[in-house]
């Protein structure tokens, strides 16, 4: 429970991410600003909702929130910075892109990004997507936005099945990764992707040796 004392009428923001665990695709963060006491029925942790319900609620959130934004960090940034710092960067971008600044922001998890342009109070909340409406709303926007991006990546790289697993390390994804090798949207800093890349490189070297005989 937060011990922050807020002035009456203070706008409350929530920040959450989607996509830290996958082997491919960007990490996405969303920020949602709500009025004090505002309710959006059905909003809770995106992982507890069906895809259809998330899509329905995402429309309501965008219509009813005081402000919202979605931002990300791409695969190159993930590999260069590491996934934690890339997540912090995506969160920072989401807050910076808000059209209206809240007086108070709650961030899901135990780590907060640097927010140099933010003038309010920021607080981390472990399990916030289940206990804070604004964070729950942000989790839905982040998840639905990332799922859409992965659907688009599936059209570019259909052999991996991104439309089904959204880049997460399922057995189907790992098998396709080892069979076909990584695509440009795979995170080379993640061990399963490195292993697949090493195997593909070895196979190519062996083929080159056979062809040279």
The DSSP line for 74-126 is -HHHHHHH-HHHHHHHHHHHHHHT-SS--SEEEEESS-----TT--SEEEEET
**Are 28 and 130 within one domain?**
yes
**Are 165 and 151 within one domain?**
no
The token pair that represents 212 in the structure block? 């040279």
Domain that holds residue 196: 159-212
**Are 104 and 126 within one domain?**
yes
**Are 109 and 125 within one domain?**
yes
- Domain endpoint, select from 114, 140, 156: 156
Least Cα distance to 93 among 30, 51, 141 occurs for 30
User: What share of the chain has pLDDT > 70, as a percent?
Assistant: 93
The domain that holds 127 is classified in CATH as 3.30.420.10
Give me the number of domains the chain comprises: 2
pLDDT digits (tens, 9 = 90+) for 135-152: 999 999 999 999 999 999
Phi, psi for 197 (deg, rounded to 5): -65, -40
Whole-number Å distance between alpha carbons of 197 and 79:
14
Between CA 79 and CA 95, with CA 112 as vertex, the angle to 5 degrees is 85
* Domain-embedded: residue 129: yes
> Do 183 and 203 meet the contact criterion of CB atoms below 8 Å apart?
no
* Domain-embedded: residue 3: no
CA-based R_g, the chain, Å: 20
3-state helix, strand, coil in the chain (%, to 5): 50, 15, 35
pLDDT digits (tens, 9 = 90+) for 144-185: 999 999 999 999 999 999 999 999 999 999 999 999 999 999
Model confidence at 211, in pLDDT bands (50, 70, 90)? Answer: low
Model confidence at 61, in pLDDT bands (50, 70, 90)? Answer: very high
**Are 83 and 166 within one domain?**
no
- Domain endpoint, select from 156, 171, 203: 156
**Are 75 and 103 within one domain?**
yes
**Residue 84 confidence (pLDDT) above 80:** yes
**Residue 8 confidence (pLDDT) above 60:** yes
**Are 67 and 167 within one domain?**
no
**Are 181 and 201 within one domain?**
yes
* pLDDT for 45: 67
> Do 127 and 120 meet the contact criterion of CB atoms below 8 Å apart?
no
pLDDT digits (tens, 9 = 90+) for 16-49: 999 999 999 999 999 999 999 999 999 976 788 9
Model confidence at 200, in pLDDT bands (50, 70, 90)? Answer: confident
pLDDT digits (tens, 9 = 90+) for 108-129: 999 999 999 999 999 999 999 8
């Amino acid at each position: 429970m937060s011990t922050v004392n807020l002035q009456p009428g203070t706008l409350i923001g929530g920040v959450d991410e989607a996509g830290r665990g996958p082997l491919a695709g960007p990490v996405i963060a969303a920020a949602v600003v709500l009025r004090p006491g505002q309710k959006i029925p059905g909003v809770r942790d995106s992982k507890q909702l069906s895809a259809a319900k998330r899509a329905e609620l995402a429309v309501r959130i965008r219509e009813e929130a005081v402000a919202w934004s979605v931002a990300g960090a791409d695969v190159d940034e993930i590999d260069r910075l590491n996934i934690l710092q890339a997540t912090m960067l995506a969160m920072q971008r989401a807050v910076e892109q808000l059209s209206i600044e809240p007086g108070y922001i709650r961030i899901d998890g135990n780590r907060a990004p640097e927010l140099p342009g933010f003038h309010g109070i920021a607080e981390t909340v472990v399990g916030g997507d289940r206990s804070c409406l604004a964070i729950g709303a942000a989790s839905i926007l982040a998840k639905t936005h990332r799922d859409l991006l992965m659907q688009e990546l599936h059209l570019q790289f259909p052999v991996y099945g991104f439309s089904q697993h959204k880049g997460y390390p399922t057995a189907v994804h790992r098998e396709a990764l080892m069979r076909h090798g990584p695509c440009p949207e795979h995170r080379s800093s993640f061990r399963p992707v490195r292993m697949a890349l090493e195997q593909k490189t070895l196979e190519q070297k062996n083929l080159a040796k056979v062809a040279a005989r």
